[in-house]
Amino acid sequence: MYVFKLKTLIIAAAAAITVLLLLTLGICRFAAPHSKAVSGFSETGSDEYVELPILMYHSLTKNPSKVNAYVINVSDFENDLKFLRDNGYTAVFISEVIDYVDGSGDLPDKPVAITFDDGFVNNYDYGLSLLEKYDMKCTVSIVGSYTEKFSSLTDDNPEYAYADYETVKNMADSGRYEIASHSYDMHSLPDKSNPGARKGASKNSGESDEDYRRILTEDTQKNRQLLEENCGITPVVYTYPYGAISKSSMPILKELGYRASLSCLEDTNHISRGNTDGLFCLSRYLRDNKRSAAALLQK
């Protein structure tokens, strides 16, 4: 799937609107910016926290002509991993962050989470050897309808194909990938061809709470069921398609057994033991073709 400048503009506008909405509703709040991941204390001075930057990737390529805001060159990904290693960062799964909050695990001195959205097969074909080389790991968020479709095809071209269920299982079995849910079929935005489309997993204007709960539950459960049946994986992390979030989604995801969710808001997260609500709407830095990991983390 190729992403064009129009999509970049749409998502940028959607992200700006989402930020204003979330701040208004109090769903997410920004932490003060910092240049390094360190331990400290919250604004009240009573709760210890760990700073967690999260990097958001989408697709990798070996073809320079395909590079855009959501597709970066494999060599740039390697440069990012080298920067992280050389600057003392340790990659962690989101599940390890959950364990830290629950009190059943610890985090390293400078944790960083690497995430990939959509589930492109190149995340594995091009990424595995580099993750092994630099001793890193990442969380990949699967769009169920994409993975289901490519599981019935023989097209596995790493330049554009999505991972099939066999590849998703191989990812998890490698120990370098954690699998998250990116919805079954809610990865969409309204456009000229489909002006009535839902904005990701958000609630439509005028939609009843009951209808929204049913639709989000059915979609989310379908993706989880397919991952369980085909890969033996039960995801506990939900990644909002396009970062489109509704206030009522968090309690629904909690009821379905999800422990954390990922947004498209850009900031460094403050993670505190016992603060389970702080695991939802985690912020991430978009690693596009213009901003390296070094640039994002040294701001």
pLDDT, greater one: 45 or 84: 84
| Domains in the chain with CATH codes | 5-297 (3.20.20.370)
Torsion of CA 277, 293, 33, 21, to 10 degrees: -50
Give, as one character, the DSSP assignment of residue 135. T
Q: Which segment, 31-40, 44-53, 196-205, is predicted with the most confidence on average?
A: 196-205
In this prediction, residue 16 has a pLDDT band, given cuts at 50, 70 and 90, of very low
Q: How far apart are CA 64 and CA 157, in angstroms?
A: 16
Q: Which of 90, 88, 79, 78 is nearest to 136 (CA)?
A: 90
Q: Which of 41-50, 119-128, 179-188, 214-223 has the lowest mean pLDDT?
A: 41-50
Q: Which of 104, 99, 101 is nearest to 274 (CA)?
A: 101
> What would the mean pLDDT of 34-44 be, rounded to a whole number?
39
Q: How far apart are CA 258 and CA 288, in angstroms?
A: 28
**Res 1 pLDDT > 80:** no
Give me the percent of the chain exceeding a pLDDT of 90: 81
| DSSP per-residue letters across 27-83 | S--PPPP-SS--EEE-TTS-SEEEEE-EEEE-EEES-GGG-BTTEEEHHHHHHHHHH
Q: Which of 19-28, 168-177, 202-211, 244-253 has the lowest mean pLDDT?
A: 19-28
In this prediction, residue 251 has a pLDDT band, given cuts at 50, 70 and 90, of very high
Instruction: Give bridge partners of residue 117 from the DSSP assignment.
Output: 141
Instruction: Give bridge partners of residue 149 from the DSSP assignment.
Output: none
Instruction: State residue 47's pLDDT score.
Output: 65
Instruction: State residue 34's pLDDT score.
Output: 31
**Res 27 pLDDT > 60:** no
**Res 41 pLDDT > 50:** no
Could you give the C-alpha distances from 138 to 95, 115, 125, 298, in angstroms and in order? 11, 5, 14, 20
Q: What confidence tens digit (pLDDT) does each residue in 71-130 have?
A: 999 999 999 999 999 999 999 999 999 999 999 999 999 999 999 999 999 999 999 999
